[in-house]
Each structure stands twice: as structure tokens, then as C-alpha cells.
Structure 1
Amino acid sequence: MDDQRDLERMLGNLRQFQSESDASKESEKSPSNAGTSFDADEFLAGLDAMFASHTAKDKADEYLQQAMADAENAQDYAGLLTVLNETMGFYRSQGRHQENQWIIQRAIELALRMGLEGTEAWTTTLINAATSQRAAGNLDQAEDLFEQALDAARRTYGPDDRRLAALHNNRSMLFSQTHRRRQAIDELHESLRILEHSSVDAQSDVDIASTCTNLALAMLDGEDQPTDAELEEAQSLARRTLDIYQHAGSDSSAHYASALAGAAHVSFASEDYAEAVRQYQRALDVIARCYGEHTDYYRVTAQNLQEAQRKLELTQSTDNPHDSVDDSPAQSTVHTDIHRSAVHNASVPSTMQASAQHSTSPRTLAPGTALRVAEPGMALAKAYWQELVKPMIDERYASVKHRIAAGLVGHGSECYGFDDALSRDHDFGPRVCLWLTADDYAEFGERLQADYDALPSMFHGVSRSAATPRAQGEGRRDGVFEIAAFFTQLTGMPHAPADDEPHLWLSLDESTLAAATNGRVFQDGLGAFSSARQSFTRMPDDVRLALISRRLGMISQAGQYNLPRMLERGDGAAAWLCIEQFADAASSLVFLVNNPASVGYAPYYKWRFAALRRLSARPAMLLTEICGELEQLMRLSSAACFGGAGFGEGGKGAAPSIDTVNAIVETICEQITHTLNALGLSDSPQTFLEWQRPYVEAHITSPATCLHSL
């Protein structure tokens, strides 16, 4: 149901709202345009024909661009809005998210200029804009738009309107991507309830099928293994989805690929890898025919197929497959539609869920047990914004409130979602950041800061804890900031470097970039802060490849070359440092290979493994097994480097652990080589990773010497 064309049909042709702006249109027409016209029905019929004949991937772009020009020349603004909504969906399906930004902006501005607020056309545009921003990874903007859309839909739709079901369905994807699994499931249950209540034939209703697929995926979208009950429900939902498509005679439609991909994910989670391979292959055939092989949808599904094939080969190569096969069902990504697949960023819920255990002494907890807090810091910040800060701004800054961006970004465990009971000892509490442009900061920034400081420091039973020296003055973590100064404080730069400034990108370490792009934005009417924040996520691909090459070099030198030599010399301290350098480079490589634009940057050492565990639990990620292997490597390091002496391991000798440590290093390097080959970054089978560097660097197009190894 997330597909733009189906959604547009469900929401109705925007032409029906043309009468609402007829008077203004007639007054704006000039005599030179009086003879021109635009037929929206004819336009939609032509677009439908392209999708029906599977030629849209080659012809739709030119068709849409011409339709935009025709509608604008005819000054048919309702028709133009219809074209813009269709274009949003097509660009989204093609993964053309950057180009889609101006389409989104233009559609919203046009709808406002036409005075469509409070109409179904306005709701339509908000939903499409929100869905497109979600697909582009602009999750804060998407959440704000979805909230506006839901508010508008409640006024314009009935309680059982199928268009409302579409909105709940799309909104669930945002919750999934932002670690709110329970909310995602609740949204899908509500969508399914509406659809089942309104359907004339539930056995053939493909909208019900799409929602069942989404719900099945949500059941499996978590850090922990699904329970038997969850797995059984997911299997039932997947079967129901395929049955609906077959009963409806729609098993050759474009959307059938989503149903097949969803069923494949469930098969994967059930360890039926042969069935998963079969279903992924069928899905790829449909995607290639309907959308083309050069789309994100095809690429991600192909990665899923490759992972399922790998698991199948492992099970076939051993007498007991469960002894050697990773039980995690979340090693491949399956999405219910092309727009989810384009982002392949479905997330898992945070381990910091509400709990009454916040008073538990950390010394009594078992190793690895997460400390719980009554309210995670980010939830506390958003509540503080909604209940205290926003009402103050609405009252005292009504004329400029849309110019004030708000959220929580930067340093602090809560900005990463890793805060626990121990996080409350310093620099923690109810707080938000308020961001202003330079002109606005000069005009009312000081006054806004004073009003913010006057707000209560005790909120929801939590008071602001002591601030460390580094979180005071210019390093403060909340309050009012000028946008450029905020990023200068974090990165040393007022904005992200340009694509042709690779030396500046390389001067920003990953933890710095992580601090500048983490957290959440609660409001940004101007989009100025979000734009600046997003610019730091868009590391040029040449820079990313250069960093991948550097990590390969360190992994090879520290782990494959120097570690065995130091262990053989008996220099345990040097060997331990080799393991540290190897783990640092390998964990960084996982983030770089999965692309920080989608998964974020590796944070600094304190939160590196917390972030790596969370990334490794997400669907469609590459090198997911490395996290556990690195942790095992470090657990064995004391025995390998010092024979276990003084570490409670009995001093039994280092030899067995040395063999295991070296084997883990080689296993990790083999997985990295396999992934480089799969991504097309290398065609060499060489597992000594220093020799992989020239292959990776061959893909760097920039001649800048800083991007190439000597």
C-alpha cells in the first residue's frame, strides 16, 4: 500500500479538488494561455498504461517532466499537483531521493498557495511527501509530515476510510526505522482492522495482503530472536498474503514482488533457506520486469538472495546445520514494497525500554545486562519539548515559531539511544536544543535563551544532573544555538565540506561525524538545520572508498601480519595493542561498507560496540557476523597475549587461545573479501587484505592524492 500509484488511486484524483481553486486559477490566467489545456485524466491513463506494459522505468521520467510543463503552461494547478504527486512516487521507486526533494517542496508550496489546507488534496500531498522523506532517510522531516497528515486525515476521512489505513501502514514503516517496534505493530494492526472492516472481498484484497506482509516483517524486526508465537504468526501472515494475490489473480503484478520478498524473509527466519532462495528469485524476476535492474529495490533484494544462498550452502555442507548456521533471522532485508527496499533501513527497537529497574545496582548485574531507566533520555527530551518548551515558544514567539528548529543532537549517550541508569550521573536531564539562523539568532536568540533557562529543570521526576566542564560554555549541550556555530562546536566546521574537498572530509573522524548526525529533530519549519545536518551524512563515495582502503590496510597490518609476530615473540602487550587496532579498524569498516548515509557513522570507542550490535541486528546489513567474532576475539585476548596469568584463567598457557585468535582474524578477513567481491569493489579472492586495497581504490574517480595510498 506504500506504492505511490496505488495510494494516489486510493486517495482519489486530485482533479476533484480543482473546483476549489477555479476562481483563483481563472484570475491568474493570461490571454496567451487561454487556449491551452491539460487533461489530468488523460495523463493518469497514459501513466497507467506505461506501468501496465512495464515500460515505465524507461519512459515515465520524460512523460512526467512533459506533463509538469503542460500543466504549468495551462496554469492548471490542480493538474500540476496531481503530476507532482505521481512524480514523488516514481522518483521514490527509482531511489532518486535527492531529485525528489524539490518535487516534495514544490508540491507542498503549491498546495498551500492553492489554499487546500483542510481538504483531502492537502492530506494526499502530506502523505506522499512524508512517505518520500522516509524513503530518502530524512526521518525527522518524515515524522513531522506524518503527524500533520494524520491530523489532517482525521478531519477529512471517516474512521474506516481505507485511505486512513494507507496512512497507518506508511507511518508504521517510520516507527520501524526509528526503533519503535511496538508502535509499528500497533499502526499495522489498526491498518488491518480498517481494511478488513471496509473490504468487500477480503480474500482478494491486495491492500490487506500488503499490510499482512508489513505486519509479518514487523513481528521479526527486533534485536532478539522472535518467539515461537511471533514466528508462527509471521508465517500465517505470509501465507495469507500469497493466498490473496493468487485468489485475486494478481500474482504477475508488480506488488507481488513485495509479497514474495516478505514471504522469503519469513522463510529465512524459519531457517527454510531453500524456500527463501526460491521466493527471492521469483521476486527478482518480477522486480526486473516491472522496475528494472538498476534500482535500489532490485539491488537490496539481490543482496537478500545472496545471503539466503550462503546460508543454504552452509546447511548443505554439514550434517547438523544448526551447529554452523547463525540462527539470526535478521541477516537479510525484506521489505514489503519498493520504497522500504530503497532505504533498506528498517531498524530494531532500542534495548533501553521503560523499566522499573533503574535503582538496581550495576554491580549486581550479570555481564552484558543492559541497565534500564524509567524514561530514555530522547523520550524525556521530546516530552520536555512538547509539554514545556513548545508551549512557551507558541505563546511568546508566535510570529517566528516556524523559524525555530528543535531537537536533541550532539554529545551524550541519549543522543545515540544508549543511555542507561549510569548515564544520569552527569550531563543528563530534561533538555533540548533550539537552532536558529544567523539573522534570527541575532534578533531574538539571547531572549529565547533566557526564556529557555527559566523553564523548570525538574521534569517527569528527573532533574538535570551535574554538568562536567566540557559540557559548559561553548561546549554546552542544550539551549539556543546559531546553526553554523552549533556544527562548528561539534566538528570545527560550520557546514559539511563540499564533494570536491576530500581533504576536509578526511580531517573529520567518524566519531565527530556521528555526533553531528545523531539524535532527533522534533521541529524544523525552515528545514535549515535539517539540511545542514543531512549534509554531514552525505560523505562523498570517493572518500568512503578511501577510508575503506585505509581500514583494510590496518586490519591486514595489525591483525594478519603483526599480531602473529608479536604473539610468537611473546610480547603480550604489543599483541594486545594489535588486537585493539584490528578491532577498531574492523568495526569501522562494517559501518563504512554499509554506508554511513544509511546506517550512521561509527561513534567513539565507548559506544562503538553498542552501535555495532544494533547495526548487526538490522536486516540487510553486511558483515553482521563480525561483531560477535570481534567480541570473542577480545574475550580470548588475555589468554592469548599473557597465557591467562592474572586474569582468573588459571595460567593454562596461551597456545590454544593463540590458535583461536589467529583463526578468528582470518575468518573475519575472509568475510571481508567475500563482501568486497559481492559489492563489485574487487574481483580478487586474496584474503590478505593489504592486496585488496588497489582493487578498492580503482573505483575512486577523484585524482586527489589524499584519497590514494602510496
Structure 2
Amino acid sequence: MSFIKGIELCRRFHTEVVEPLMMEDYHHLSYSSALVGPGSEVLGYDTEMSTDHDWGPRVYLFLDQQIIDEYAEQIQASLQERAPERLYGFQLDIRRIVITTVPGFIESILAISRAEPIEPLDWLTFPSQSLLEITRGAVYRDDHGQLAKMREKFEYYPHDIWLYLMASCWQRIGQEEHLMLRSGFMGDELGSALIASRLVRDIMNLGFLMERHYAPYPKWFGTAFKHLKCSGELMPHLWKAQTASAWREREHAFHKVYEHLSRMHNELNITENIAKDVSYFYDRPFKVMNGEGIARRLADQIINTDLHQLAGQRLIGSIDLITDNTDFRTMKYARNELKALFKSAIRD
């Protein structure tokens, strides 16, 4: 049995099993079919190792609610009766076919209903991995273009959100870059290395933002970063900063990183050009990128009133920057409480 990437296997499942059944028994129904939602195969990063759990032929079937109410059980029963047990050697579990509406799918991923307009602060409550679960994968059929509209709607952050998130990343860099050097200067190489790792992650996040790509969850974070245009230039220096045994080596590696980041920032043409070189941190014997100054330039470009106020009070970023706790980030229905946190920060 040869391994087949999940996107291709699910395409064959749709083409060879789902589509013929729907055309024969339910040809009068409009529907859409896609591989979306959670799973390494949606991101295209699945390998043979992925097949040991939660992997196999599957699709989401999208229908109108009225059609679901009338036909969902019949469709499931038809698939159960007529689908093969295996497809290209892989076990086929009909229970993994999800029949839902487009609004129902969005609510299951983002916990936001059709009746609820998406406000700017809502975007800060959406994990970037969840946005990937909507916009990545593959669409196999799309009657009436519902999936195309959904994916276009969430294709990327609105402009002011994008500015706010980049400003928040730079703020985090500015708040900790000198701490890495100070702890190293005091002989705390372990503490310095730990802060360096945090900075590496923030810089990688910034790379995703600068190139307008959603960042996946930790398992595929580094893999996806390698596909960014900036990775070839940044990776050697980030790896050096990550693995250096002495703080001066880390300092030098981050200086090289900043050379590339400053050029990338200036090429975006969203603020006045920033300096291409690092500068001394006050009178101390080490140099920094001055991330907080860059953050302020970006924040000043934000037009939306709420976001502009939030940026003036707290550059705390989205849920991804606030916490890396998996259980918290997957508590979708705590989104309103998180949104309230941002609103309270505006009022501070």
C-alpha cells in the first residue's frame, strides 16, 4: 500500500465515491464538498506517520439547512451502504464524513454565528490555526460558490488587524531583546538562551505576518516557516541565535536578523523607513533592534478607532501572542470572554 497525500486521497474519495452517489440518488440537490477543518493533511504536511490516527478518506459535505433536515440521514445511510470498506488500501470510515452548512462550519471553527457581524476585535480572538482550517485544504465541488465566498472572507486579516499584529510582535521583541543581553552579561547564559528562544519565535511570527500568511500551530510552525520567502535569509541566523552557547554570539546573530527584517519592513512601504542598523541600548555595552519604536510607527498607521485605542493602551496582539496554551486556544466558546479582555484594555 503506497502512501497518498491526504488532499489527493480525499479528492479521489469525492470523485469516485461521493460524487457518483450524489449524482445518482440526489442529483437534484446542490451541495459543496471539501477537505477543510483540522488535520495535518489539510495543511498538506501529512506523511506516512500521519496515518496512525485521525487520518483517512473524508470530506465535509455542505448543504443548506433545509436540505440537511430532509436528506442528511438518507445520504449518510446511502454512503454507509454503498461505500467500499477501503479506498486505495486505506480504511474508510463513513462517520468521518461531516454534513453541515457553511455557517455551521464557521461556527464550529471560530465560534461566531451568521447573525453576529465580525468586528475588528473578533479577529484577535481567532487562532491563526483556525483560520488556516478554513482557508487551506481543497475544495472539490462548490455549487453556488459558497465555499469560495467563505474562503475569500477569511483569506487574511483586515489591514488594520495586520498592522496591529505586526506592531504587537515588534513590541514583544523590543521588550525582551535587551533582557537577553542583560542576563547574558550577568553570566546567566541559560536565562539568556531562554529569552533568545522566545525572540526567535516572535521573529518567525513576524515573518509570517510580513508575508501575509497565517501561522500554523506548533507542530508545523517551523515547517511552514521554511516555505516563506524570508526563510532562506533568516533561518541560518535564527538557528545560530537558538543554538549559541554565549550571549555575544546570540547578539551578533540577531543583528544579522535585523538587517533582513529592516529591509523587509521598508519594502512594505507602510511607515517611514526604519534604520538598517542596530543601535546601543542606552549606555549599555550591547545593541538592539529597538522593536518598541518600530511598533509605535506601525500602531500610528491604524485607522480603526477601537484598534487605534487598543494599540495606544496595550499592544498585546491576538490570542496567539497572548498564550501558547493549547487547551486555552481551543476553547472556542470562550471567545466572548477574550473579546471582553480586549475591550477592557481599550478602556484602561
Structure 1 residue aligned with 2:169? 551
2:294 is the counterpart of 1:681: no
Question: More deviation in 456-465 or 580-589?
Answer: 456-465
In the TM superposition, residue 667 of structure 1 has moved relative to its aligned partner by 1.7
2:229 is the counterpart of 1:625: no
Q: Is the 8 A contact 1:633 1:661 kept in 2?
A: yes
Q: Is the 8 A contact 2:84 2:92 kept in 1?
A: no
Structure 1 residue aligned with 2:157? 539
2:258 is the counterpart of 1:669: yes
Q: Is the 8 A contact 2:156 2:212 kept in 1?
A: no
Q: Distance in 1 between matches of 2:102 and 2:292?
A: 41
* Match 2:215 to one of 602, 606, 628: 602
1:165-176 to structure 2, matched below 5 A, reads none
* Match 1:486 to one of 99, 102, 105: 105
Structure 2 residue aligned with 1:433? 60
Q: Distance in 1 between matches of 2:199 and 2:292?
A: 13
Q: Distance in 2 between matches of 1:668 and 1:497?
A: 42
Q: Distance in 2 between matches of 1:551 and 1:528?
A: 34
Identify if the C-alpha distance between structure 1 residues 422 and 442 changes in structure 2 by more than 3 Å, giving closer, same or farther: same
1:297-308 to structure 2, matched below 5 A, reads none
**Matching residue's letter, 1:398:** H
**Matching residue's letter, 1:424:** T
Identify if the C-alpha distance between structure 1 residues 612 and 496 changes in structure 2 by more than 3 Å, giving closer, same or farther: farther
Q: Is the 8 A contact 1:496 1:535 kept in 2?
A: no
In the TM superposition, residue 426 of structure 1 has moved relative to its aligned partner by 0.6
Q: Report the 3-state secondary structure (helix = DSSP H, G, I; strand = E; otherwise coil) of the residue aligned with 2:215.
A: coil
Q: Distance in 1 between matches of 2:207 and 2:96?
A: 29
Q: Distance in 1 between matches of 2:3 and 2:20?
A: 24
Q: Distance in 2 between matches of 1:633 and 1:456?
A: 52
* Match 2:293 to one of 670, 688, 691: 691
**Matching residue's letter, 1:441:** I
Q: Is the 8 A contact 1:681 1:695 kept in 2?
A: no
Structure 1 residue aligned with 2:330? none
Q: Is the 8 A contact 1:551 1:586 kept in 2?
A: yes
Q: Distance in 1 between matches of 2:76 and 2:311?
A: 46
Q: Distance in 1 between matches of 2:162 and 2:67?
A: 35
Q: Is the 8 A contact 2:196 2:250 kept in 1?
A: no
Q: Distance in 2 between matches of 1:496 and 1:544?
A: 25
Q: Report the 3-state secondary structure (helix = DSSP H, G, I; strand = E; otherwise coil) of the residue aligned with 2:33.
A: strand
Structure 1 residue aligned with 2:50? 423
Structure 1 residue aligned with 2:345? none
1:255-654 to structure 2, matched below 5 A, reads 374-400=3-29, 403-454=30-81, 455-464=83-92, 478-494=97-113, 501-558=119-176, 560-596=177-213, 601-616=214-229, 624-634=232-242, 636=243, 640=244, 654=245
Q: How far does the alpha carbon of each residue in 1:130-176 deviate from its partner, in whole angstroms, 9 at most, with x for none? A: xxxxxxxxxxxxxxxxxxxxxxxxxxxxxxxxxxxxxxxxxxxxxxx
Q: Is the 8 A contact 1:452 1:479 kept in 2?
A: no
Q: Report the 3-state secondary structure (helix = DSSP H, G, I; strand = E; otherwise coil) of the residue aligned with 2:37.
A: coil
In the TM superposition, residue 496 of structure 1 has moved relative to its aligned partner by 11
Q: Is the 8 A contact 1:587 1:627 kept in 2?
A: no
Q: Distance in 2 between matches of 1:420 and 1:607?
A: 12
TM-score w.r.t. length of structure 1: 0.39
In the TM superposition, residue 390 of structure 1 has moved relative to its aligned partner by 0.7
2:311 is the counterpart of 1:708: yes
Q: Report the 3-state secondary structure (helix = DSSP H, G, I; strand = E; otherwise coil) of the residue aligned with 2:154.
A: helix
Q: Is the 8 A contact 1:554 1:581 kept in 2?
A: no
Q: Is the 8 A contact 1:408 1:415 kept in 2?
A: yes
Q: How far does the alpha carbon of each residue in 1:538-571 deviate from its partner, in whole angstroms, 9 at most, with x for none? A: 421000100000011112323x222222333444
In the TM superposition, residue 517 of structure 1 has moved relative to its aligned partner by 1.4
Q: Is the 8 A contact 1:377 1:430 kept in 2?
A: yes
Q: Is the 8 A contact 2:5 2:41 kept in 1?
A: yes
**Matching residue's letter, 2:55:** F
Question: More deviation in 410-419 or 680-689?
Answer: 680-689
Q: Is the 8 A contact 1:496 1:536 kept in 2?
A: no
Q: Distance in 1 between matches of 2:185 and 2:80?
A: 60
Q: Distance in 2 between matches of 1:422 and 1:607?
A: 14
**Matching residue's letter, 1:669:** Y
Q: Is the 8 A contact 1:484 1:495 kept in 2?
A: yes
Q: Distance in 1 between matches of 2:260 and 2:250?
A: 16
Q: Distance in 1 between matches of 2:231 and 2:270?
A: 15
In the TM superposition, residue 704 of structure 1 has moved relative to its aligned partner by 1.0
Q: Report the 3-state secondary structure (helix = DSSP H, G, I; strand = E; otherwise coil) of the residue aligned with 2:160.
A: helix
Identify if the C-alpha distance between structure 1 residues 457 and 553 changes in structure 2 by more than 3 Å, giving closer, same or farther: farther
Q: Report the 3-state secondary structure (helix = DSSP H, G, I; strand = E; otherwise coil) of the residue aligned with 1:595.
A: coil
Report which structure shows greater RCO (CA 8 Å, sep ≥6): 2
Identify if the C-alpha distance between structure 1 residues 462 and 628 changes in structure 2 by more than 3 Å, giving closer, same or farther: farther
Unaligned stretches of 5+ residues in structure 2? 279-288, 314-348
TM-score w.r.t. length of structure 2: 0.78
Higher helix share: 1
Q: Distance in 2 between matches of 1:513 and 1:696?
A: 23
What is the alpha-carbon root mean square deviation over aligned residues? 2.6
In the TM superposition, residue 576 of structure 1 has moved relative to its aligned partner by 4.0
Q: How many residues align?
A: 298
**Matching residue's letter, 1:386:** T
Q: How far does the alpha carbon of each residue in 1:288-336 deviate from its partner, in whole angstroms, 9 at most, with x for none? A: xxxxxxxxxxxxxxxxxxxxxxxxxxxxxxxxxxxxxxxxxxxxxxxxx
Q: Distance in 2 between matches of 1:615 and 1:463?
A: 35
Identify if the C-alpha distance between structure 1 residues 494 and 533 changes in structure 2 by more than 3 Å, giving closer, same or farther: farther
Report the structure number with the largest CA radius of gyration. Answer: 1
